Amino acid sequence: MFKERVLTALVLAPIMIGGIFFLEDKPFAIFIAAIATIGAWEWANIAGYQRNWSRIGYAFAVFVCLYISARFLRVKPEYLIYYLAVGTLWWVVAFALVKRYPGGTDVWTARPVRALLGLCVLVPMWVGFMHLKQQPHSSLLIVYVMLIVWGADTGAYFAGKAWGKSKLAPHVSPGKSWAGFWGGLATTVVIALIYGYCIDRWVQSMDGHGVLRLLLITVITMVISVLGDLVESMMKRHRGIKDSSSLLPGHGGVLDRIDSMAAAVPVFAFCMMLLDWGLAK
């Protein structure tokens, strides 16, 4: 299992790095749309659609939604913030669902509702990636969101292993602990400070207000990234499956790898717009 995980990671990492740093806007949009469409095929199973034709149909419907969103936002770019606001609002609702679980499942247990929730996850993720890609120093921003997610996971793993007695959401993901949460938060704050220092040194000056806004955006994004993982865990637990698919040997499915990113990216992009923070040209 460990060998499979390493080999898969060695294949995926160059693909992701190449996509982020070397693809221009349109190829990058197609690249992320392809990831979202595969994720949609997996989400269809999580939603309870088990037949191949229904899963493919749902994936196609999500791709069409991405295409329509791209066309619409090209004509009406001022509506971008509403897309991101709805995507962020969904994670506020998701927090309530996770907190109530295993209660409250009657609200979202119907397959069409779970299918709709998949749109709330995947479409804002794509829109968030597109917004970041169009910003100055877009690669630095996208990599930073990835560092937030990885930092949260890494800090949570080591802190949870050392002190993880009090469970964060025992009914949803018994392996997660409050110690892990705080360890992940501390790690991402350190990453934010290092990132801010590097930006100040090599990209643009960062005054105190800029650093505070960066820290606030980072903390919010980190918290939501944890929620993204919990939501997928909740949906899989309700569905009675361990992984979203077996597409990635040793890692499960695509959704299992991007669940935190799917939550983090639109929220990070929305906070950037709301707090008027970004990197200058």
Q: Given a cut of 60, is residue 1 above it in pLDDT? A: no
Contact, 98 vs 172, CB < 8 A? Answer: yes
Spatial separation of the C-alpha atoms in residues 205 and 221, rounded to whole Å: 23
- The SS3 call for residue 28 is helix
Spatial separation of the C-alpha atoms in residues 114 and 199, rounded to whole Å: 40
Minimal CA–CA distance to 244: which of 49, 12, 6? 49
Compute the average pLDDT of residues 19-32. Answer: 93
pLDDT at 20: 86
Q: Which residues of 15-34 are buried (b: 16+ CB within 10 A; e: fewer)?
A: eeeebbeeeeeeebbebbbe
pLDDT digits (tens, 9 = 90+) for 74-123: 999 999 999 999 999 999 999 999 999 999 999 999 999 999 999 999 99
Q: Where are the domains of the chain?
A: 2-275
pLDDT at 13: 74
Spatial separation of the C-alpha atoms in residues 79 and 58, rounded to whole Å: 25
Using pLDDT thresholds of 50, 70 and 90, give the confidence band for residue 243: confident
